[in-house]
Structure 1
Amino acid sequence: MPVEHYENFPVASLLLPAHLRAPVEAVYAFARSADDVADEGDALPQDRLARLHDYRQALEACANGQAVSDPELAPMFARLGQAIRAHALPVQPLRDLLDAFMQDVGKTRYADFAELRDYCRRSADPVGRLMLALHRADSAENLRRSDAVCTSLQLINFCQDVAIDWHKARIYLPQEDMARFGVDEAQLDTLARGRSTVTGPWQSLLAFEVGRARTLMREGAPLARALPGRVGWELRLVVLGGLHILERIEAVGYDVFRHRPTLGRSDWLRLGWRALNYGKFA
């Protein structure tokens, strides 16, 4: 799932088997830290890229059982390297995450969905793939469904956070879609700054994006039935949470500028009950 917005989705929770909490936390710490390098603070782009290059070198070192010389990075990558070796984790998804974070430093627009999907392949899908590897459940079909769920979660975040992304000078809605529905950057600016209210073109655009995210989520949802035990239950919770956010975006008339949908404790309690009766969610 996307590493930049975990507030809607449980990560490394108590539902995880005890022996998997440490590797999940190691992967999360790596992804969270690298994402902060790309996004947080006021460093210049070239400095961000240089630091992410340090992460890339450290990743390759720890994956090969070598010590990381950078004292700031060494403890984190020691834990990550231990997780890679102990659980035979694939390294490519970790490389893909770093590649996506480096892309975020300079790329702020996406021409079409194919381009955005490629970004999600590297920024979101790797997390699901790593979790499947940890659970020894990374069959080709499971990976395909996991990619659909993870990309859907990323698209949901993009829908939630249009205003937040705009204030970071980024747009994760495909330019092709915006043109199709008659929404330009000037309109987006007035909406994000609260200077106007949503109109038909915006509602049509976001309804289209919501529909795409829902289709992907339902495409991947059978994975939650295929996985046993606590991991299956938690994935059902994630799927239901994502679908519920989409319902809330629709319920506010697609005005995510004044009503950013989130899930609170009471929502998770209700969704937890629904996850026990998962066949009813669709």
Structure 2
Amino acid sequence: MAVNHYENFPVASILLPARLRPAVRDLYAFARGADDLADEGNASPQARLDALETWRAAIQDIGSHRTIRAPLSPEDRAMFERLSGTIAQHGLPIQPFLDLLSAFTQDLSVVSYDDEPALLDYCRRSANPVGRLMLHLFGATSMDDLAQSDAICTGLQRVNFCQDIALDQAKGRCYVPLDCLARHEVTLPGLQGLCAAPPQQVPAAWQAVLREQAEQARRSLLTGSPLAWRLPGRIGLELRLVVHGGLRILEKLAAGQYNPFTDRPILTRRDGFLLCWRALRRPRPAIDFPSHHES
């Protein structure tokens, strides 16, 4: 298992209340489908953009309580009709759906980010809406709830960026801020070279880049982690498993000497037992970045 690509949706999880599983499946279908419009298949950039604009029009119709007028395929229309019912039943806000579409549209034209604020703005739209929609399903929408959910989702997104740096480069994208690369005197052509011929030992400068990005991801996860211990019952446990899953990926990245090019960290069944133990123990992980990593 990897921490990536909307697989952090707890789709059909036994930890979810049965009454919410159809709604979560509908949210996942939208996020997964929109992401695929931007990334999967052989469509041209213009065709991808047109498809995302069609989905945006459909969401705006739902938000305006209109019949969906967008020219959708029968399969997509059925998905949007189910989603419309879920939005109405649970009183979900429309903006998170529009934010997701905005981020996926941006992926068609923006391939790198100058600095931390630019990357965080992308995470705000590409990752954080998922958590906000989930919190609305559970009625946990205080300012603290939403802010800590945003921190967890941004942290998970940044774990994904560390984990999938080579996969993203294959798509022509880099989610490491360019000012971070400049600080460590590395370049995008250098990244392309690492991906083309992955070394067994990553150069020290690139290790420093990924260590810095991993630290940012870990701090974000830990900043949001009080939410996972505050939410009651099964949703709290589900969220603790997600947080610890992200932290475990970072541990594996460090143990592999920050070399996701030849040793992409993933979660195994053995890790699953460890995550369950960590999620069930009471103390929250400390908000620091230790030099050692628990095995």
Post-superposition shift, 1:62? 2.5
Q: 2:215 aligns with which of 211, 216, 227?
A: 211
- Counterpart of 1:222? 226
CA contact 1:93–1:129 (8 Å) conserved in 2: yes
In the alignment, structure 1 residue 67 sits paired with structure 2 residue 67: yes
Where structure 2 has 5 or more consecutive residues not aligned to the other structure, the ranges are 287-295
In the alignment, structure 1 residue 257 sits paired with structure 2 residue 261: yes
In the alignment, structure 1 residue 175 sits paired with structure 2 residue 188: no
SS at match of 2:228: helix
* Code of the aligned partner of 1:62: I
CA contact 1:160–1:256 (8 Å) conserved in 2: yes
Give distance in 2, aligned partners of 1:98 and 1:146.
19
- Counterpart of 2:290? none
Q: 1:85 aligns with which of 83, 88, 91?
A: 88
Post-superposition shift, 1:269? 2.2
Q: Deviations over 1:203-249 (max 9, x none)?
A: 11111111111111110000011100000000010111111111110
| Paired residues, number | 281
Q: 1:105 aligns with which of 88, 108, 123?
A: 108
* Code of the aligned partner of 1:38: A
CA contact 2:112–2:174 (8 Å) conserved in 1: yes
Post-superposition shift, 1:6? 4.2
Q: 2:190 aligns with which of 187, 190, 202?
A: 187
Post-superposition shift, 1:148? 0.4
Distance of aligned partners of 1:168 and 1:51 in 2 relative to their CA distance in 1, 3 Å threshold:
same
1:134-149 equivalences in 2 (<5 Å): 134-149=137-152
Give distance in 2, aligned partners of 1:272 and 1:4.
19
Give distance in 2, aligned partners of 1:166 and 1:48.
19
Post-superposition shift, 1:10? 4.2
CA contact 2:115–2:180 (8 Å) conserved in 1: yes
* Code of the aligned partner of 1:246: L
- Counterpart of 2:25? 25
Where structure 1 has 5 or more consecutive residues not aligned to the other structure, the ranges are none
- Counterpart of 1:48? 48
* Code of the aligned partner of 2:183: R
Give distance in 2, aligned partners of 1:81 and 1:7.
22
Give distance in 2, aligned partners of 1:137 and 1:21.
17
* Code of the aligned partner of 1:54: T
Q: 1:239 aligns with which of 243, 262, 265?
A: 243
Distance of aligned partners of 1:68 and 1:221 in 2 relative to their CA distance in 1, 3 Å threshold:
same
Give me the CA root mean square deviation.
1.7
SS at match of 1:108: coil
Distance of aligned partners of 1:280 and 1:220 in 2 relative to their CA distance in 1, 3 Å threshold:
closer
1:93-172 equivalences in 2 (<5 Å): 93-172=96-175
SS at match of 1:145: helix
More displaced stretch, 205-214 vs 56-65: 56-65
- Counterpart of 2:293? none
- Counterpart of 2:39? 39
CA contact 2:45–2:108 (8 Å) conserved in 1: yes
In the alignment, structure 1 residue 279 sits paired with structure 2 residue 294: no
SS at match of 1:176: helix
Give distance in 2, aligned partners of 1:278 and 1:194.
44
